[in-house]
Each structure stands twice: as structure tokens, then as C-alpha cells.
């Protein structure tokens, strides 16, 4: 009987493990880039939190033998706000301040959420999803098209489309967005990309550089920069490795202008010679910067405003490249 019980436990554990890793997913490929994406799913999706847009969670992306995305966090829970990988995006909330306790508010790309009490909105908190809206996913060899439709969520209605596309003949990934306001209330929000890059799993330290087209300065609320993180000369660098549990943060990098040409960042792993350039057709509203021991994240915000009946569009480009390694990094 004990052997039978032990065998049943083992089988149950193996079955559970298989279910855990069997997330809905799809792959896309071009001549030089291949990527794996997790797909939206309220029951079995890799990400089920209420912070980030559920579309476009990229589990891995490979270019010329270099890996650009992976799991950067230690403990995984599908409903924890940071259990997301890749260039995931977050929209600021709509209707939260106006809602009473028990009423709903809106998070684009997530759904209508319940406001539990009169406390201020906190991005790291999980909020009950009252209406997840309708997700439609169209998978093709070189792209995945996501559509999220939500009706009368806290008085807002929209059709949000996002295409994750690999470009033929280029080592480039493009995120194409559109948001159509199908309701009666104007939509006025911001969206940023967290950019959870883990290039070749290089730890955060002197081997990583983040470059800008302007003389970047750390301003606003800062935490942990000190003499460990240097901002200036058009880049952010590290003087030493970040230890496990250490974080650095700036609520507002400065130096950028009012045109789209300053939405232009490069993240490079100097040890392995792999980099990525990130550009957009939109101007920057603000830039938050956050890093821990496994990832360095410039978080550029753009404004998104749509009157009733209006559709707005924007895109973000990721160009992958290699360069000679720098052997002197510590």
C-alpha cells in the first residue's frame, strides 16, 4: 500500500509539473531571429497578473546564438505583478480615483478590475478581474496578432490590437499597436515598456551598458544609484555587480527632448558582444529606470489619448546586433 501511495504521489507530481510548464504559447521566426511567446489565457496563461498587458509576453528570443529574454525573477506565481518576461507593457489605470470601493476600474490589456477599498492604486497589488474582455489571437509564421475587446468597463469601451512581428530580411522585432475608443468616455492614459532584457544572462554590472542619444541624467526620486550606477556621457553604467536583492531606481531620467528621435536606447552586453536598439515613432513622456541583479530596464512612457470613435496607433522597434566583445569588463 505504501508503494502504491508513493507511486501515485510521484505520478501526480509529474503530471502537475507537466501542466505548469505547458503554458499556451507560439513561436515566430524570420531568417535570423526566432522567438517564443506566451499567449493570453485566464486559467493556464504564464502571466495572469493585473499589472502588465497580457499580450506580447516573450519567453525567449534568439539572434546569432545570443539569447535576449529569459526568466529574470526567482520565484514564479502567475498572478504576481512581476512574473512577466520580455518587453511587456503597462497602461496606467482609468477610472480608479472616480470608482467607489466595490466598483470597477479599467486596465487596458487586462480588463475591468474591482476596487477593493479606498486606498490608493498600487501597481504591485493583484486586483480581482471582474471582466477579462475577449481575447482573439491570430498566429502566423512571422507574427502573432492579438486583439483585446472590452465593452462598458467602468464606462469605457475599446478595441486594442497588438502585433508582434519579425521583419523579413532584418534582425528586427516590431510591436505594432492600435487602440480604438468604441465607448462614450475619452481615453487618456500612458503606456510604457518595461524591457526585461537578460542578454545572455549577464548579471547587472560593468558588463552591461545602456546608451541614449542624449546626455542622460538621473533625476527625480532615486534609490540605490550612489556611486554604483553612473548616469552621464549619454549612457548608464555600473561600477560593480549588483548583489542578489539589490535594486536601483530613478523615477525620472532627464535629458531627452520633445520629438521621437530621442526614443532611441541601446542595451549592450559588452562581454558577449550582443546588443539591441529600441526606437519608436512616438515622443517620450518620461523615463523611469529600474534594475536588479538580473535585468536593467529603461522604461520609456508615451501618452495615449483617444476621443470616442477615434483610433490611435504607435509602434516600437527592436533591432538586434552584435559587436566586438570587450574583455576588460569585470
Collapsed DSSP state (helix, strand, coil) of residue 14: helix
pTM: 0.91
Residue 24 C-alpha cell reads as 499556451
By CB atoms closer than 10 A (0-12, 13-18, 19+), residue 245 is exposed
Residues 205-223: tens digit of each pLDDT? 999 999 999 999 987 667 7
Question: What pLDDT, on the 0 to 100 scale, is given for residue 22?
Answer: 85
Distance CA 32, CA 293 (A): 29
Cα gap 303→266, rounded to integer Å = 22
Pairing of strands 264-269, 274-280: antiparallel
Q: Does some domain include residue 330? A: no
Cell numbers at 263, concatenated: 526614443
- Does 163 fall in a domain? yes
- Span 221-242, pLDDT tens digits: 677 787 889 998 899 999 999 9
Confidence of residue 326 (pLDDT cuts 50, 70, 90): confident
115 inside domain: yes
3-state class of 244 per DSSP?
A: coil
Candidate from 10-24, 72-86, 110-124, 127-141 with smallest mean pLDDT: 10-24
Number of domains in the chain: 1
Residue 200 lies in a domain: yes
CATH of residue 72's domain is: 2.70.98.10
Say what the pLDDT of residue 329 is.
58
Residue 194 · residue 297 · CB < 8 Å: yes
Question: Is the pLDDT confidence value at 88 over 80?
Answer: yes
- Structural domain of 287: 10-322
Q: Is residue 329 part of a domain?
A: no
pLDDT in tens, 134-179: 999 999 999 999 999 999 888 999 999 999 999 999 999 999 999 9
In this prediction, residue 15 carries a pLDDT of 37
Amino acid at each position: 500500500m505504501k508503494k502504491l501511495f508513493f507511486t501515485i504521489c510521484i505520478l501526480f507530481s509529474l503530471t502537475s509539473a507537466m501542466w505548469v510548464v505547458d503554458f499556451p504559447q507560439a513561436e515566430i521566426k524570420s531568417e535570423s531571429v526566432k522567438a517564443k511567446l506566451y499567449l493570453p489565457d485566464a486559467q493556464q496563461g504564464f502571466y495572469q497578473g493585473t499589472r502588465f498587458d497580457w499580450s506580447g509576453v516573450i519567453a525567449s528570443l534568439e539572434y546569432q546564438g545570443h539569447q535576449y529574454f529569459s526568466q529574470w525573477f526567482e520565484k514564479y506565481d502567475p498572478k504576481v505583478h512581476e512574473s512577466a518576461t520580455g518587453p511587456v507593457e503597462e497602461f496606467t489605470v482609468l477610472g480608479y480615483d472616480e470608482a467607489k470601493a466595490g466598483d470597477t476600474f479599467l486596465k487596458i490589456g487586462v480588463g475591468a478590475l474591482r476596487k477593493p477599498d479606498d486606498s490608493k492604486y498600487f501597481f504591485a497589488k493583484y486586483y480581482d478581474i471582474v471582466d477579462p474582455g475577449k481575447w482573439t489571437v491570430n498566429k502566423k509564421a512571422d507574427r502573432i496578432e492579438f486583439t483585446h475587446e472590452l465593452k462598458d468597463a467602468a464606462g469605457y469601451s475599446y478595441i486594442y490590437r497588438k502585433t508582434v512581428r519579425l521583419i523579413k530580411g532584418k534582425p528586427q522585432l516590431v510591436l505594432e499597436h492600435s487602440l480604438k475608443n468604441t465607448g462614450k468616455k475619452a481615453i487618456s492614459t500612458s503606456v510604457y515598456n518595461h524591457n526585461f532584457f537578460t542578454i545572455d544572462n549577464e548579471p547587472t554590472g560593468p558588463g552591461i551598458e545602456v546608451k541614449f542619444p542624449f546626455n542622460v541624467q538621473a533625476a527625480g526620486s532615486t534609490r540605490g544609484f550612489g556611486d554604483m550606477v553612473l548616469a552621464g556621457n549619454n549612457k548608464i553604467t555600473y561600477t560593480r555587480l549588483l548583489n542578489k536583492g539589490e535594486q536601483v531606481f530613478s523615477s525620472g531620467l532627464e535629458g531627452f527632448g520633445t520629438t521621437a528621435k530621442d526614443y532611441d536606447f541601446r542595451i549592450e552586453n559588452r562581454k558577449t558582444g550582443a546588443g539591441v536598439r529600441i526606437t519608436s515613432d512616438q515622443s517620450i513622456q518620461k523615463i523611469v529606470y529600474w534594475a536588479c541583479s538580473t535585468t536593467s530596464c529603461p522604461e520609456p512612457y508615451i501618452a495615449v489619448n483617444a476621443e470616442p470613435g477615434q483610433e490611435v496607433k504607435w509602434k516600437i522597434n527592436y533591432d538586434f546586433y552584435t559587436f566586438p566583445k570587450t574583455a576588460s569588463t569585470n
